[in-house]
Amino acid sequence: MKNFPNHKNFLLPPMERAIPALLDDLQDRGLLKDTLNVMTCKFGRVPKITKVPLPGYEHWDALQSVFPAGGGVQKERGIGSSDKID
């Protein structure tokens, strides 16, 4: 996947800083428990990095990832599961 290095080196680091900063700010202001924050993606990803043609995570259209935070959502909880990949 030719976009993986771009995602890894340029797109993910700002997101990995922004999400915790937003949640910390809402927590500090006492707003996190009343504000539901949801981050989604249109496709899930296979749970392993593929090597061909280039390193990356392939789309897994049978799975979608959702990251809810705040708004009374229970912390550190996984909901649901997916089938194993052979």
At 14 the pLDDT is 92
In a domain, 77, yes or no: no
* Residue 23: Cβ within 10 Å count: 15
Q: Structure pTM?
A: 0.69
In a domain, 51, yes or no: yes
In a domain, 81, yes or no: no
Counting the structural domains of the chain, the total is: 1
Is pLDDT above 60 for 12?
yes
In a domain, 79, yes or no: no
Q: In angstroms, rounded to a whole number, what is the distance separating the alpha carbons of residues 83 and 66?
A: 17
At 6 the pLDDT is 78
In a domain, 33, yes or no: yes
At 2 the pLDDT is 65
Domain hosting residue 41, numbered range: 4-69
Instruction: Report pLDDT digits (tens) over 19-78.
Output: 999 999 999 999 999 999 999 877 777 767 777 666 666 777 777 778 899 999 988 887
Q: In angstroms, rounded to a whole number, what is the distance separating the alpha carbons of residues 34 and 78?
A: 21
At 21 the pLDDT is 97
